[in-house]
Amino acid sequence: MKIYDTPRPLAQYLDRHFQCGCGKEHYAPLKMVRIGKNALEELPEGIRRLGYGNVFLIADRITYEIAGKTCMEILEKSGIQARIQVLGHVAFDEATVGELLIHMPMDCDLLIAVGTGTINDMTRFFSFRTGRPFFTVATAAPMDGFASSIAAIYVNHLKTTFPAQTPEAIFGDTDILKNAPYPMIAAGLGDLLGKFTCLCDWRLSVLVNGEHYCPAIAELVETCARRVLKDAHKAGSRDPGVIGDIMEGLVLSGVAMSLYGNSRSASGCEHHMSHYWEMIFEQRGKRPVPHGTQVSVGTVLALKLAEALREREVDFARARRAAMSYDRKAWEEKMEEVYGPAAQGILDLERKAGKNDTEGRLKRIDAMEEKWGEIRELLEGLPPSGHVAELLTSLEAPSRPEEIGIDEELLRNTLLYCKEVRPRYTILQLLWDLDILEELSEQVIAKYRKKPEPQTTE
């Protein structure tokens, strides 16, 4: 069928093949999503509708208390055969996979992950390996990766990535979700707020690089992010309506990635910052804050850079001179210094992508000069950084780099060099192309150097 001209409710995008004006065919394999009050009551109907009847639930002690017990009661009442394994220790490693294998009934035809983080990851992997489909019963909504198709498992104490499977159905009972810890709610919201900067990055790349673009998917994600932003201040009082909207937004963001076939609609420079921090923290043996929390801090930074750019005249002749005098060797040495043991991967990536090469950069500068009006307009459409920061503060969530363990030096390296973690074009590369990344980064850093301002003046 033809893709809709205007965004429709999430359910209308599931398990349907779309022909799209962007030239791609879109398909998301997720079959069912139920989010709302008493959504768990619909579990039996969902199981029957998709043709299953003998389920094996996977929970840990905490998620068993939060939702697993209720799931078992509901399934028992409806006459569906169900067994549950409540894991004692929740590391995603060989021992846990073995425990599941021992206890899984041979005749079960469906797995259900009761939980969002490790439990969901583990079930995605286990489901893939045992050839059995699975559902997710969410106990929190901290990020949009529910439907990711890889899972990272500890093998011999080393984190290793394996192919996994996406769920057929996702259930989010808002009475359960609203009781999730505050930092998890704020992290989910943060991952969603990042969609503004990531969509802006995508559109910048369309103007500057002629990158492929799907207006239908971009609009779908943006409409949903705007809806959540409008009421997000109510998340602080655990308003079930807003918590449901955040959960739905995160599922939709995952669906949009499936529809498009990659993460372009979900991940831009705010995610590159998060990837970079994960890498550096791992090198330093420090535990980073949750993904969505990092993304929200990255989003505020990206918005501040966009604001700084809006206020500045751009000198294209200077940009061209910088492109002509690009020193690859100096750049490589800098990568060794900034990325340490991860530098080789970064060098290999750039060798393939060549995104810093002079020829391509000059072409992009030409395109920018020609389309500067449109670029400015795009930047003006972004939400104000102060608004987003206040929102996070009202949820007692971090919005400033130092609140998540990023000192000034790491912040500087982030703004200048995190763009190298992926070849994807973002505002950071655009500023670098224009030879003003350093200058605008210093402006942003200087703002953070001051004492926190009263909320109203941000």
Q: Which two tokens stand for residue 270?
A: 């705010």
Least distance between Zn ion and beta carbon 29 (Å):
17
**Number of residues this chain uses to bind Zn ion (CB under 5 A):** 6
Which tokens in the block code for residue 173? 């009972």
250 binds Zn ion (CB under 5 A): no
Alpha-carbon gap, residue 151 to 237, rounded angstroms: 33
Minimal distance, residue 230 CB to Zn ion, in Å:
21
Q: Which is nearer to Zn ion, 22 or 347 (CB)?
A: 22
Tell me which residue of 301, 289, 283 sits closest to 341, measured CA to CA.
283
Interacting span for Zn ion (CB under 5 A) from 13-21, 48-56, 360-368, 447-455: 13-21
Helix (H) or strand (E) holding 252: helix 240-260
Among 169, 186, 214, 375, binds Zn ion (CB under 5 A): 214
Taking CB under 5 A as the criterion, the residue among 4, 20, 50, 150 binding Zn ion is 20
**Residue 22 engages Zn ion in binding (rule: CB under 5 A):** yes
Site for Zn ion in 180-209 (CB under 5 A): 191
Residue 453, SS3? coil
Place of tokens 């030096």: 409
CA separation for the pair 293, 183 (Å, rounded):
8
Closer residue to Zn ion, CB minimum distance, 24 or 412: 24
- Smallest separation (angstroms) from Zn ion to the CB of 70: 29
The nearest distance, CB 216 to Zn ion, in angstroms, is 5
**Shortest distance in whole angstroms from residue 144 CB to Zn ion:** 5
- Whether residue 355 contacts residue 425, with contact meaning beta carbons closer than 8 Å, is answered with yes
Determine contact, residues 92/121, Cβ cutoff 8 Å: yes
Closest distance of CB 313 from Zn ion, Å: 34
What sign does the dihedral 122-128-132-137 (CA atoms) show? positive
20 vs 104, beta carbon nearer Zn ion: 20
How far is 66 from 60, CA to CA, in rounded Å?
Answer: 10
> Which listed range, 29-37, 104-112, 210-218, 224-232, lies at the site for Zn ion (CB under 5 A)?
210-218
216 or 411: CB nearest Zn ion: 216
- Alpha-carbon distance of 196 to 268, in angstroms, equals 9
For CA atoms 393, 425, 274, 128, give the dihedral sign: positive
DSSP state of 180: S
Please, what is the minimum distance in Å from the beta carbon of residue 41 to Zn ion?
A: 30
Cβ distance to Zn ion smaller for residue 22 or 152: 22
Place of tokens 């670098």: 432
Q: Which one, 24 or 334, has the nearer CB to Zn ion?
A: 24
Give yes or no for residue 121 binding Zn ion (CB under 5 A): no
Q: Which two tokens stand for residue 424?
A: 């994807």
Catalog residues that contact Zn ion under the rule CB under 5 A.
Answer: 20, 22, 24, 191, 214, 216
